Amino acid sequence: MIIQGLMEVLQPMTILLVAIGTVVGIIFGAIPGLTATMAIVMFLPVTYSMAASEGISMLMALYIGGISGGLISAILLNIPGTPSSVATCFDGKPMANKGEAGKALGSGVVFSFVGTIIGIGLLVVLSPVLCGFALKFQAYEYCALAIFSLSMVIALTGHDMPKGLVSAVLGSLLATVGLSPIDSKPRFTFGLYQLNNGFALVVLLIGLFAIAEVMSFAESVRKGQNFTVETDYKIKGAGFSLKEGLAQTKNAIVSALIGVGIGILPGIGGGVSCMISYTVSKNTSKHRELYGTGIMDGVVASETANNATIGGAMIPLLALGIPGDAATAMLLGGLQIHNVAPGPLIYEKNGVVVYAIFFAMVLSAIFMMLFMLLGMRFFVSVLKIPKNFLLPVVVVLCGIGAIGNANMLFDTYCMVAFGLMSYLLIKSKVPTVPMILGFILGPTFETNLRRVSQLASSDSFWNHPIFCVLIIAT
């Protein structure tokens, strides 16, 4: 299966799609407001007619390119292109102000590559182990896992735990629309046959992220944006010396491990991992007083961690079918469209596609480093394109994606409704990530809870230690 997966990725068409996906992902990551998630949303309908390995490889390339591209605007504009690059601003822009923009960009790109490769390595090692462990899961364990994952996401929303709870419950309620999982009784369909199968995950995600972002931009379009794109920089080689790179070895390894660990936790993402790794790097440094004034260490910590989070977030997605962040939730929709069912049996049922994903991620990481080091001026020039030219194209492609999901115009109405709902939630400062997890895990929880209720009289929960551990941890 490993060789077959490699051969799938080495097909000329797959290599071309990975290259295109990486470039487009970098562009989306570089432009503030256009995220990796939005890139996946836009190009998901493009993959409908592709083979599974080709389509999913392109989506993975968009993911890796989108996360990596955020460092460009973070360093040159002091505006993070994606939430994952927030901490890169802390030292990236000060380095640019000191005339070290090339060094900041070069170190960010190279250590983004390092973080991605470490994350992929741990993904390859840990996902089969987690799959083997998950084979022991029955109704009790899946029920407890759903509760544990949701509680973790709600707890990590910070000071707004009640709002996180509201968001998760709302997502779970949306998942109840359609036929009930065991007895197929219609619920909340209001006589509309289009709702018999419930709301599609892809449609919900398009509305929550892409349409809501367009609405937010439309609100602020009259305010104008005053920023200057820094173009006076040079990148010679990687932008830094071999000695400087080797001096960051410990920083990079620790940051990568933090990134993978945070990525495994459901619903958190690179925005948190880059902040935590930056803080850890600063607190353990011998020259912590220099952080924030423009040093390479801060850029390395942030970019290594947020790219390592990619591999970490893929671990629960492939092994358990639980996305680690918003982008992997979108990838879950992509896997489902191509009839790849994530879960403990994914290696047995779709082993070739899984190994193709691994090799495609490595190929995309290599393309990302080469394209960003050699074509940095092109990506910087893209920052000057007004978003009012880009976002109408986003809306059109999102509409195509919604219709293409099930060939129903009704899905576009749902997409707009979800976009409006997400916009109102954002204005109310209610996080949307718990809603996604609630929508995905709601059916899992309900189905297994009903099974548990039938089994309780003959099979006590005391016979399921994993269930007990997860409930206690919750």
The whole-angstrom separation of Cα 30 and Cα 467 is 43
Structure tokens, 310:
């990619």
Confidence band for 383, pLDDT divided at 50, 70 and 90: low
Confidence band for 114, pLDDT divided at 50, 70 and 90: very high
Mean pLDDT of the chain: 83
pLDDT over 80 at 368, yes or no: yes
Q: Cβ-count burial of 254 within 10 angstroms (0-12 exposed, 13-18 middle, 19+ buried)?
A: middle
The whole-angstrom separation of Cα 438 and Cα 323 is 11
Q: Output DSSP code: residue 404.
A: H
Most confident segment among 4-8, 60-64, 409-413, 425-429: 60-64
Report the alpha-carbon angle 299-364-332, nearest 5: 95
Give this prediction's pTM.
0.77
Confidence band for 358, pLDDT divided at 50, 70 and 90: very high
Confidence band for 361, pLDDT divided at 50, 70 and 90: very high
The whole-angstrom separation of Cα 65 and Cα 24 is 7
Average pLDDT, integer, range 407-435? 88
How many CB atoms are located within 10 Å of the residue 216 CB?
A: 15
Residue 89: what pLDDT? 85
Residue 347: what pLDDT? 86
Percent of residues, the chain, with pLDDT higher than 70: 91
CA atoms within 13 A on the CB side of 296: 22
pLDDT over 90 at 208, yes or no: no
Q: Cβ-count burial of 459 within 10 angstroms (0-12 exposed, 13-18 middle, 19+ buried)?
A: middle
Confidence band for 326, pLDDT divided at 50, 70 and 90: confident
The whole-angstrom separation of Cα 367 and Cα 227 is 29
8 Å CB contact between 430 and 163: yes
The whole-angstrom separation of Cα 401 and Cα 394 is 10
Residues 6 or more apart from 61 whose CB is under 8 A from it?
A: 17, 18, 19, 20, 21, 22, 25, 360, 363, 364, 367
Amino acid type, 159: H
Percent of residues, the chain, with pLDDT higher than 90: 16
pLDDT over 70 at 175, yes or no: yes
Tens-place pLDDT, residues 441-467 = 888 888 888 888 877 777 777 777 877
Residue 456: what pLDDT? 74
Helices (H), 48-100: 52-76, 88-97
pLDDT over 80 at 343, yes or no: yes
The whole-angstrom separation of Cα 394 and Cα 326 is 18
8 Å CB contact between 39 and 66: yes
Q: Output DSSP code: residue 319.
A: H
Confidence band for 174, pLDDT divided at 50, 70 and 90: very high
The whole-angstrom separation of Cα 293 and Cα 172 is 45
pLDDT over 80 at 339, yes or no: yes
Tokens 């509305």, residue located: 207
Structure tokens, 157:
């929303």
Confidence band for 382, pLDDT divided at 50, 70 and 90: low
Tens-place pLDDT, residues 17-60 = 999 999 999 988 887 767 788 888 888 888 888 888 899 999 99
Average pLDDT, integer, range 331-345? 86
pLDDT over 60 at 157, yes or no: yes
Tens-place pLDDT, residues 223-281 = 655 555 555 555 666 667 788 888 888 989 999 998 888 888 766 666 678 878 888 88
**Which of 46-55, 194-203, 222-231, 281-290 comes out lowest in average pLDDT?**
222-231
Tell me how far the alpha carbon of residue 285 is from its chain's centroid. 29
8 Å CB contact between 315 and 331: no
pLDDT over 90 at 13, yes or no: yes
The whole-angstrom separation of Cα 19 and Cα 40 is 15
Confidence band for 194, pLDDT divided at 50, 70 and 90: confident
Average pLDDT, integer, range 202-219? 80
Concatenated DSSP letters of 142-181: HHHHHHHHHHHHHHTTGGGHHHHHHHHHHHHHHHTSEE-T
Average pLDDT, integer, range 53-69? 91
Report the alpha-carbon angle 438-350-304, nearest 5: 65
The whole-angstrom separation of Cα 91 and Cα 105 is 11
Structure tokens, 388:
């009012």
8 Å CB contact between 216 and 423: yes
Residue 386: what pLDDT? 72
Q: In the chain, what is the greatest distance between 2 CA atoms, to the nearest angstrom?
A: 73
Q: Which of 118, 128, 439, 84 is nearest to 261 (CA)?
A: 118
Structure tokens, 259:
């990134």
